[in-house]
Structure formats: structure tokens, C-alpha cells
């Protein structure tokens, strides 16, 4: 039997995802029509014999209750949210809830960072892990560019055995272009390693004569620094390198990128989720066709959204529940969140329109994509800071927080608008507070 743990952090995390994470916990932000971590859950339920999914974080339980109930109903698998009393680090929560994870005697469990998106190769990882008899942890790994690799956990691997011989978390100088994807499968014996780290920490705390030690901090364990780094080179950690699509989901810009890739994955797994282009010439479809808007490429439209027949959507657009898209509207490479309204003939490009926001007529809302450099093999998304070195806003996608009002006939370019703001004119490269 197998289990899976999804690490979602808490309200203090995901700051680069603001203002979108102000009204909804970041792990529940919808990408390609599903809350971010529902994609993780779908990958897990497709693993044979996986019996339980535990979501670990320090968000208040109330923020996850409805989501967990929905997931249990949809996938008919045990799913629970376990709340850490404080941020315990990427392995502190695993250790704290060890009895919950070990109950029922799973042979292994997956650990998935909630803030990554991927075509998760979980079944392949399981097979690989089972072959490596000595393995305590198998890490999903991928190739990055030399410059970008240092922002990730870096892996040095024995090419013949796939053993991780050296691991450095976010090194300050180049170590390796093979990086940690934040997706693991662990054997149950890993808890002995966690316990050893925990006990050492506690000893240090009690031996600290100064009395300045912090009891809470003594419970914090980082999987990368406290477990993987010391275990590397001992023959107990392996890495499975994949070329599957993978990215971090740290910034709002990366949500647009993730949206595109998850929509693409629907081609092979969930064609039903993609809005279909019209089948011209089929008489029986004629009537239905009249009701449809124009679709280009991959588009997700929630069944409760209203899209006018003369609107054109796509490629790579998600329209969430209850959104209303007016006549002649054009939307590309964007996410329109629930209850948003976009009035006649407006244009939305490379943008996220927040919940309940309102865009007037003949308005242009446009952002700059921040995709990985297509000319560099293995390039990942850069997660640039909001401001560049001269204090100017870095060009980014345009984001409207929730319940923002954009008037008719204005241009909003590369801007971030905080919730509940009512704009009265055009803006370019600004954060509107």
C-alpha cells in the first residue's frame, strides 16, 4: 500500500503570488480549471494501490475543509488536511505526523511540493524506487541551465547507478545542472533519519545554556538540508531524471505558463475538459454550434460561465465558474477567475482577471509573458523580483486582484492592481495600490 503527502506551506508562504493569494490560499488557485494541488491529487489517484493523500500545511483548517470534502467526493479516496501548529519545514511536518503517515503500514509514500506543476511520473518513480533496494528516497530530477540551477536543489549523480553522490540546496556557486523537482518517493525507514535529526535538534536545544533557543524552531526540519544533504553519498538516495514537463509555480506569471501546459496534458487524458472547436458541416451539431463562441487552441470553460457566441477565446485560456464574457471579446493566454465580467469588445492578453472583477467595453488589458527562453534547452521560468535594480517594475503579466473595476476604453499594460480598486484611467507598468 502507498500514500502521498502534499506540502502546501501556509499563509506566510506564497508571497510572490500576491495579490492573487490574498483572497484564496495559493494551493487552491485554479490552473486549467482545477485548484493547483488538484493536479497533484489526480496524479496520485492514478497510482495503483495508493490509499491515502495527506495535505500538510499551516493554513487554518477552515480554509481547506471545503476543498478536501470536494476531493473526497470526486476521487473516492482518503484525503485529509493536517495542520502544523507552526511552519515545521519541509520534513518537520512529515515527522510530526509520522503516525498518520505510517498508519496502515504503507511500503512507501510520495512527497510532493504543492508549488510545482508537472506531468508527474509517479508510477515510473515507484518502479524505479522499488528496483533500488537500498533507497530511502528517490528524487524526481530534471535538467536546468547552468545559471538557473543554483536557485534549486542541485544533484550530483552517479551515471551508472543513479545514486545521488552529492546534494547541495540552492548553492551559491555552480554545482550541477541536475535539479531537484520537489517530488519524492520515500521508504518508511526514512522516519528513522527524521527521528535522528529531530533528536539532535532537541539535544542542542536542551544543552543550550544561554536559554535563547526557541522550542518551536527545534522542531523545524528541512528535507533538503537536514536529510538529503547528509544522506547523499551514503548509497541511500537516488534520483530519477525525467524529461517530462515540470515547473515551479511561485509567481502569478508561472500560473499562465502552468495553465498552458496542463491544458495541453488534457489532450491525452481529459479531452472532455477542453472546449471543443466546432465541427463544421455536421448537421446535428448545427444547432449547438450556434451557441458556441470561437475557440482557438486549448481552452477551458467552466460549465457555469457565460461566453457570448461572438467572443473569441484561446489559445491557452481558462474561464472559471460564473464568469461572463461579452460580445466581441478576445482573450488569449489568460485566466479569468470566477464571477469576473468582461464587457463587449475588450481584449485580455497574458493576464489574470481576479474573482469578481469587472472590465468595461473596448478596454485593453495586456501583460508581458515571462516564459522560459525558448532558445535555451532546459531553460526554466525565471521568477524575477517585482522590481529591477533601478527600482522599476519588471514587465510582467497583468494581474487584477479580486473585485477590481476597470472602466471602458482604457489600456492597462504590465500592471498589478490590488483588490477592490476602481480604476479611472489607463495605466502602464504600475502597481496600483
Phi, psi for 286 (deg, rounded to 5): -50, -45
For helices 62-75 and 36-45, the axis angle rounded to 10 degrees is: 40
Candidates 107-115, 120-128, 304-312, 347-355 — which segment interacts with ligand GDD by CB under 6 A? 107-115
356 counts as binding ligand GDD under rule CB under 6 A:
no
The residue within the footprint of ligand GDD, chosen from 30, 93, 356, 367 (CB under 6 A), is 93
Out of ligand GDD, ligand GTP, none, what residue 19 binds, judged by CB under 5 to 8 A for its kind, is none
- Residue 401 contact partner, candidates ligand GDD, ligand GTP, none, CB within 5 to 8 A by sort of partner: none
C-alpha 310: how far from its chain's center? 33
Selected binder of ligand GDD within 42, 52, 115, 366 (CB under 6 A): 115
Determine, following the binding rule CB under 6 A, whether residue 297 of this chain makes contact with ligand GTP: no
171 contacts ligand GTP (rule: CB under 6 A): yes
The phi and psi torsions of 230 (rounded to 5 degrees) equal -65, -30
Q: Residue 333 corresponds to which cell in the numbers above?
A: 493566454
Residue 425 burial (10 A CB sphere; 0-12, 13-18, 19+): exposed
| Interface with ligand GDD, residue 30, by CB under 6 A | no
Smallest separation (angstroms) from ligand GDD to the CB of 101: 13
Count other Cβ atoms within 10 Å, centred on residue 117.
25
- Classify 410 as helix, strand or coil: coil
Least distance to ligand GTP, CB of residue 82, Å: 30
Using CB under 6 A, which of 4, 54, 108, 116 touches ligand GDD?
116
Residue 360 touches ligand GDD, criterion: CB under 6 A:
no
Residue 311 corresponds to which cell in the numbers above?
467572443
Among 2, 37, 175, 190, binds ligand GTP (CB under 6 A): 175
Q: How many residues of this chain bind ligand GDD (CB under 6 A)? A: 26
Q: Is 326 a residue that touches ligand GDD (CB under 6 A)?
A: no
How far apart CA 215 and CA 184 sit, in angstroms, is 28
Subset of 142-171 contacting ligand GDD (CB under 6 A): 152-153, 169
* Least distance from ligand GDD to the Cβ atom of residue 154, Å: 8
Burial class (CB in 10 A: 0-12, 13-18, 19+), 392: exposed
Please give the backbone phi and psi of residue 406, each rounded to the nearest 5 degrees, phi first: -110, 125
The binding site for ligand GTP (CB under 6 A) comprises: 168, 171-173, 175, 229
Amino acid at each position: 500500500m502507498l500514500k502521498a503527502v502534499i506540502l502546501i506551506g501556509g499563509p506566510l508562504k506564497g508571497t510572490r503570488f500576491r495579490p492573487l493569494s490574498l483572497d484564496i490560499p495559493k494551493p487552491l488557485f485554479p490552473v486549467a480549471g482545477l485548484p493547483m494541488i488538484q493536479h497533484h491529487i489526480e496524479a496520485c489517484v492514478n497510482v495503483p494501490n495508493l490509499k491515502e493523500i495527506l495535505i500538510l500545511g499551516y493554513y487554518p483548517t477552515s480554509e481547506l475543509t471545503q476543498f478536501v470534502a470536494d476531493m473526497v467526493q470526486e476521487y473516492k479516496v482518503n484525503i485529509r488536511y493536517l495542520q502544523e501548529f507552526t511552519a515545521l519545514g519541509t520534513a518537520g511536518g512529515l515527522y510530526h505526523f509520522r503516525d498518520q503517515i505510517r498508519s496502515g503500514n504503507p511500503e512507501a509514500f510520495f512527497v510532493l511540493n504543492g508549488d510545482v506543476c508537472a506531468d508527474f511520473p509517479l508510477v515510473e518513480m515507484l518502479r524505479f524506487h522499488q528496483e533500488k533496494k537500498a533507497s530511502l528516497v528517490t528524487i524526481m530530477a530534471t535538467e536546468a541551465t547552468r545559471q538557473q540551477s543554483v536557485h534549486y536543489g542541485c544533484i550530483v549523480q552517479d551515471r551508472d547507478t543513479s545514486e545521488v553522490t552529492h546534494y547541495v540546496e540552492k548553492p551559491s556557486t555552480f554545482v550541477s545542472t541536475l535539479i531537484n523537482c520537489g517530488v519524492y518517493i520515500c521508504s518508511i525507514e526514512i522516519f528513522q533519519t527524521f527521528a535522528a535529526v529531530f533528536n539532535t535538534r532537541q539535544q542542542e536545544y536542551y544543552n543550550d545554556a544561554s536559554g535563547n533557543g526557541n522550542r518551536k524552531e527545534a522542531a523545524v526540519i528541512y528535507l533538503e538540508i537536514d536529510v538529503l544533504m547528509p544522506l547523499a553519498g551514503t548509497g541511500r538516495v537516488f534520483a530519477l531524471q525525467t524529461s517530462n514537463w515540470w515547473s515551479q509555480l511561485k509567481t502569478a506569471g508561472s500560473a499562465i505558463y502552468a495553465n498552458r501546459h496542463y491544458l495541453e496534458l488534457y489532450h491525452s487524458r481529459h479531452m472532455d475538459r477542453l472546449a471543443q472547436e466546432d465541427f463544421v458541416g455536421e448537421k446535428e451539431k448545427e444547432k449547438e454550434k450556434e451557441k458556441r463562441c470561437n475557440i482557438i487552441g486549448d481552452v477551458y470553460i467552466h460549465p457555469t460561465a457565460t461566453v457570448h457566441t461572438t467572443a473569441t477565446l484561446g489559445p491557452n485560456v481558462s474561464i472559471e465558474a460564473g464568469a461572463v464574457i461579452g460580445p466581441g471579446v478576445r482573450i488569449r493566454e489568460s485566466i479569468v477567475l470566477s464571477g469576473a465580467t468582461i464587457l463587449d469588445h475588450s481584449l485580455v492578453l497574458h493576464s489574470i482577471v481576479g474573482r469578481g472583477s469587472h472590465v468595461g467595453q473596448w478596454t485593453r488589458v495586456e501583460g508581458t509573458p515571462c516564459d522560459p527562453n525558448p532558445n535555451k534547452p532546459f531553460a526554466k521560468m525565471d521568477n524575477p523580483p517585482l522590481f529591477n535594480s533601478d527600482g522599476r517594475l519588471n514587465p510582467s503579466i497583468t494581474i487584477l486582484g479580486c473585485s477590481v473595476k476597470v472602466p471602458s476604453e482604457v489600456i492597462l499594460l504590465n500592471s498589478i492592481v490590488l483588490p477592490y480598486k476602481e480604476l479611472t484611467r489607463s495605466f502602464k507598468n504600475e502597481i496600483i495600490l
